[in-house]
């Protein structure tokens, strides 16, 4: 991540592009879900490229590109390089774009097997063996976490860009948000396994407020201590296989350190 994003210096409205790679569209939908602010945002920027929302498809350069989704084909690896070359600032939105997303589960399997499971004629399908985050291909100016991203964090990133400052997106864990929300800790009170201690804040600690443990959809927080969490999850009845599955879902590459944590714990 580099420093603050700068607005264009002329008086024109900044040109914003929204781009999709392998994803579910949920993160770009978050933009359309900013109902109260949508028209106001659209006044401040020029929507230069946003296939889901507009038939007016403009070409670069873009002042700000919001990129959703992960890279899973050779053409997409090429396409993200073109987009980067045409973008002053590039922000990735969501777990797919910042960590490869749920589709990165293939990185730990044999993609040929996967193809044969889904398709009768795998030879028709062009795909890479991996699903990789955008930052594995091009430099990224800011990564917004979440599967999906949080609406107010997205607004913060866009307004920070318009104001030429660094987005104020905290790096602490979900636990902090639980405390702020006044939610009773589900692990302490009910022995419910929860990834809150190692998960990046941003959602407002929704899951514990609804009586379930955090399943890590925002990916790891700034400082994670997986080795400390693993014994707690074992205490609460999870096998190593369960722990692995728990962490290997929406941010599988970002939580890859779980393997080390499990091994460390196996030592006598």
Partner 1 sequence: MTESAAVSRVLRIPALTRVEGEAALHLVIKGHTVIRAQLKIYEPPRFFEAFLRGRAHTEPPDITSRICGICPVAYQLSACRAVEDACGAVVDGQLSALRRLLYCGEWIESQTLHIHLLHAPDFLGYDDVFRMSRAHVTHVQRGLRLKQAGNAVIELLGGRAIHPVNVRLGGFHRTPARSELRPLAERLRIALEDAWDTVRWVSGFDFPDGECDVDLFALAEPDTYAIESGVPTVFPAGGTRTLHSFPVHVFPDHVAEEQVPHSTALHSRLDGRRHLTGSLARFAISGHLLSPLALQAAREAGLGDPPLLPRAGAALDRGSTNPYRSILVRAVEVLYAVEEALRIIDAYEPPPRPHVDVPPRAAVGHGATEAPRGLLYHRYALDSEGRITEACLVPPTAQNQGAIEEDLRHAVQAELARGVVDESELARLCERVIRNHDPCISCSAHFLDLDIERHGSQAKAAD
- Interface residue list for partner 1 (CB under 8 A): 20-30, 32-33, 35-36, 38-39, 42, 47, 50-57, 72-73, 76, 101-103, 105-106, 109, 111, 113-115, 117-121, 124-125, 127, 131, 147-148, 203, 206-207, 209-212, 215, 217, 242, 245, 249-250
Name the one range near ligand SF4 by CB under 6 A: 41-49, 51-59, 92-100, 104-112: 92-100
Q: How far apart are the first and last CA of the chain?
A: 39
Q: How far is the CB of 121 from ligand SF4 (least distance, A)?
A: 26
Q: Report residue 41 CA to chain centroid gap.
A: 22
Quote the tokens at residue 37. 């602010």
Which of partner 1, ligand SF4, none does residue 38 bind to, with CB < 5 to 8 Å depending on kind?
partner 1
Q: How far is the CB of 267 from partner 1 (least distance, A)?
A: 27
Which of ligand SF4, partner 1, none does residue 173 bind to, with CB < 5 to 8 Å depending on kind?
none
Closest CA to 137 of 66, 189, 85: 85
* Pairwise CA distance, residues 268 & 264, whole Å: 9
Which of ligand SF4, partner 1, none does residue 158 bind to, with CB < 5 to 8 Å depending on kind?
none
Residue 44 burial (CB count, 10 A): 13
Residue 154 as a binder of ligand SF4 (CB under 6 A): the answer is no
What does DSSP say about strands 46-50 and 87-93: parallel, antiparallel, or unpaired? Answer: unpaired
Residue 105 as a binder of ligand SF4 (CB under 6 A): the answer is no
Residue 101 as a binder of ligand SF4 (CB under 6 A): the answer is yes
Closest CA to 215 of 186, 257, 239: 186
Q: How far is the CB of 254 from partner 1 (least distance, A)?
A: 15
- Give the bridge partners for 132, in sequence order: 71
Quote the tokens at residue 113. 């097997």
Contact 69, 97 (CB under 8 A): yes
Q: Which is closer to partner 1, CB of 66 or CB of 102?
A: 102
Which of ligand SF4, partner 1, none does residue 233 bind to, with CB < 5 to 8 Å depending on kind?
none
The SS3 call for residue 201 is coil
Residue 80 as a binder of ligand SF4 (CB under 6 A): the answer is no
Residue 214 as a binder of ligand SF4 (CB under 6 A): the answer is yes
Place of tokens 């790096």: 171
Cβ contacts of 25 within 8 Å, gap of 6 or more? 52, 68
Residue 185 as a binder of ligand SF4 (CB under 6 A): the answer is no
Quote the tokens at residue 76. 């997409």
Residues engaged in binding ligand SF4 (CB under 6 A):
23-24, 26-27, 68-69, 94-96, 101-102, 147-148, 174, 199, 203, 205-207, 214-218
């Amino acid at each position: 991540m580099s420093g603050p994003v700068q607005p264009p210096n002329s008086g024109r409205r900044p040109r914003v592009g929204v781009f999709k790679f392998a994803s579910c569209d949920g993160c770009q939908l978050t933009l359309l879900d900013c109902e109260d602010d949508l028209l106001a945002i659209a006044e401040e920027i020029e929507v230069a490229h946003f296939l889901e929302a507009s038939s007016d498809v403009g070409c670069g350069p873009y002042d700000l590109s919001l990129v959703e989704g992960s890279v899973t084909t050779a053409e997409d690896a090429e396409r993200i390089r073109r987009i980067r070359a045409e973008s002053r600032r590039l922000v990735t939105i969501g777990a797919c774009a910042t960590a490869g997303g749920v589709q990165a589960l293939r990185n730990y399997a044999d993609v040929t097997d996967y193809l044969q499971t889904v398709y009768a004629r795998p030879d028709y399908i062009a795909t890479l063996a991996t699903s990789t985050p955008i930052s594995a291909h091009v430099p990224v100016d800011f990564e917004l976490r979440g599967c999906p991203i949080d609406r107010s964090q997205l607004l913060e990133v866009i307004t920070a860009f318009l104001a030429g400052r660094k987005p104020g997106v905290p790096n602490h864990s979900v636990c902090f948000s639980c405390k702020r929300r006044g939610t009773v800790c589900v692990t302490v009170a009910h022995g419910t396994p929860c990834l809150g201690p190692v998960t990046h804040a941003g959602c407002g600690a929704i899951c514990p407020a609804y009586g379930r443990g955090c399943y890590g959809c925002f990916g790891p927080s700034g400082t994670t201590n997986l080795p400390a969490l693993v014994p707690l999850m074992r205490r609460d009845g999870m096998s190593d296989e369960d722990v692995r599955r728990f962490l290997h879902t929406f941010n599988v590459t970002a939580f890859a350190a779980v393997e080390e944590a499990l091994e460390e714990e196996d030592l006598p």
